Amino acid sequence: MRNTRYRLRTGVSRISFKTCIVADLHDRPYGQILPILKQEKPDLVLIPGDVTETLRAGEETTERNGLRLLTECAAIAPTFYTFGNHEIGGCHGNIRLSKMANEPLTFTLTSAWKGIIESTGVVLLRQSYTVWNGLAIGGLGSGLLNPGWKPELDWLDAYVSAKGYKLLMSHHPEYYDRYLRPYPIDLTVSGHAHGGQWRVLGRGVYAPDQGLFPKYTGGLHENRLVISRGVANTVPCVPRFFNPCEVVTVEVNAE
């Protein structure tokens, strides 16, 4: 597990913070993540989705690694969380199957699941934001179950009008090109692409929703998009090559 570090300037006076980004655990073991978080002592932890798997009605449980990790993170620092496509049960395989069966996939977060997530101590942000210590922290969840796979963007106008440094979690990094670039958001953090699974000549080979040789698989882009390659190997039969799992630590300092 690598700790990848980026340093940025805010352009907003008096705002400085350190955050650790933990993306795409997919309920895998998380033991290597905690020492990094404890050593970094971040001001806040950001979890931009796919920490656990489908939050299906009737299957509510606390017995999942992803939920345990949420509790561990919240004990270390204030932790903010938004859903990826896996929490809402959306990936291209089952979307295709549902289309063939003519039964559209939908997702509703039950109050029992909501209670379980809240009991971990994290702040869940779904198409919403909160203002915390001068940071306007937003969560844009996956839109894979929506028509045209489009995320819900209508709340973003209110979000970007909020006072403070705009720090947005967007599970899908490709939303930056498709929707987010025009918005005055200071920093967007994403996951989902798993670094492209294999890395060849410094490029990821494949990412869901971007295809072969995708543009956004990791790293810092345009000084305002940070993408985690993820903290777990989620496809055991297809190992990651030259693509270590990573926690991403971002330090933002006032100019």
Residues that bind Fe ion (CB under 5 A): 50, 84-85, 192
CA distance 171 to 102: 27
Q: Which is nearer to Fe ion, 50 or 186 (CB)?
A: 50
Q: How far is CA 95 from CA 25, 102, 170, in A?
A: 21, 10, 21
Q: How far is the CB of 80 from Fe ion (least distance, A)?
A: 17
Q: Which is nearer to Fe ion, 42 or 173 (CB)?
A: 173
Q: How far is the CB of 192 from Fe ion (least distance, A)?
A: 4
Q: Which is nearer to Fe ion, 40 or 87 (CB)?
A: 87
Contact 71, 63 (CB under 8 A): no
- Closest Cα to residue 141, out of 149, 152, 132? 152
Q: Which is nearer to Fe ion, 85 or 165 (CB)?
A: 85
Q: How far is the CB of 152 from Fe ion (least distance, A)?
A: 17
Helices (H), ranges, 82-174: 92-100, 111-119, 156-161
Q: Which is nearer to Fe ion, 166 or 192 (CB)?
A: 192
- Closest Cα to residue 213, out of 223, 224, 222, 201? 201
Q: How far is the CB of 131 from Fe ion (least distance, A)?
A: 27
Q: Which is nearer to Fe ion, 90 or 138 (CB)?
A: 90
Q: How far is CA 13 from CA 48, 60, 112, 127, in A?
A: 26, 44, 41, 27
Q: How far is the CB of 93 from Fe ion (least distance, A)?
A: 13
Q: Which is nearer to Fe ion, 43 or 53 (CB)?
A: 53
Contact 141, 171 (CB under 8 A): yes
Q: By CB neighbour count within 10 A (0-12 exposed, 13-18 middle, 19+ buried), where does 62 fall?
A: exposed
Q: How far is the CB of 110 from Fe ion (least distance, A)?
A: 21
Name the closest residue to Fe ion (Cβ). Answer: 192
Q: How far is CA 136 from CA 66, 148, 241, in A?
A: 25, 28, 36
Helix (H) or strand (E) holding 74: helix 65-76
- Closest Cα to residue 90, out of 53, 48, 40? 53
Structure tokens at 90: 């959306």
Q: How far is the CB of 230 from Fe ion (least distance, A)?
A: 9
